[in-house]
Amino acid sequence: MRRGFRSPFIRVLLLSLCLPVLPALCVPAAAITVGCYAEWDPPTDILVHTPGDELFAGVIHPEAALFERAFEVRGAAAEHRAYISLLRQSGARVHTVLGALLQGTVDPAGRPVPGPELDALRQFAGQFLAIDASALNARDQTEQAKYKQETLSLLPPRELVAIILNCPTVRLRPSEVANTRYTATYEFSPVMNLYFSRDQQVTTSRGVVVGRMNSEQRRVETRIMAFVLRKLGIQPIYEVTGDGRLEGGDFIPCGDTALIGQGLRTNPEGIRQLLDNRVFGVPRVAVVKDPWQHQDQMHLDTYFNVLSPTQAVLVEERMDVRDGGGRVVKPARADRRCTVDVYLLQDGRYRRTGQDLDFQAFLEGELGFSLIPVSNDDQLRYAINFLCIAPGRILGVAGASEGYRAALQGVHATWMDFSNLTGGYGAAHCCTQVLHRRRVPAQ
Residues linked to residue 287 through DSSP beta bridges, in sequence order:
260, 341
State the DSSP code for 434.
E
Q: Grade residue 176 by pLDDT with cuts at 50, 70 and 90.
A: confident
| Largest pairwise CA distance in the chain | 87
* Single-letter amino acid code for the residue at 85: S
Distance, CA of 323 to CA of 337 (rounded, Å): 19
144 within some domain: no
pLDDT at site 2? 29
| Domain-embedded: residue 358 | yes
| 375 located within any domain | yes
The answer to whether the beta carbons of residues 37 and 26 sit under 8 Å apart is no
**pLDDT at 23 exceeding the cut of 50:** no
- pLDDT confidence of residue 443: 66
Note whether residue 228 is domain-resident. yes
Residue 40 in domain? no
Is residue 414 assigned to a domain? yes
Q: CA–CA separation, 91 vs 104, rounded Å? A: 25
Q: What is the mean pLDDT of the chain?
A: 93
Residue 409 lies in a domain: yes
Please list, residue by residue across 54-76, b when 16 or more beta carbons sit within 10 angstroms of its beta carbon and e when fewer do.
Answer: bbbbbbeebeebbbbeebebeeb
* Beta sheet of 311-315, edge-to-edge order: 304-306, 311-315, 370-374
The CA distance from 383 to 313, in Å, is: 10
pTM higher than 0.75: yes
- Predicted pLDDT of residue 1: 30
Specify the pLDDT at position 178: 75
Tens of pLDDT, residue by residue over 256-313, are 999 999 999 999 999 999 999 999 999 999 999 999 999 999 999 999 999 999 999 9
Give φ, ψ of 436 to 5 degrees: -155, 135
Report the number of distinct structural domains present in the chain: 1
Q: Catalogue the E-assigned strands of 87-181.
A: 93-96, 130-132, 168-174
Q: Is residue 104 a part of any domain in this protein?
A: no
Tell which residue, 150, 105, 204, 256, has the closest CA to residue 434. Answer: 204
CATH number, domain of 329, equals 3.75.10.10
The residue range of the domain holding 294 is 73-98+192-437
The SS3 call for residue 288 is strand
- Dist. CA 42–CA 178, nearest whole Å: 65
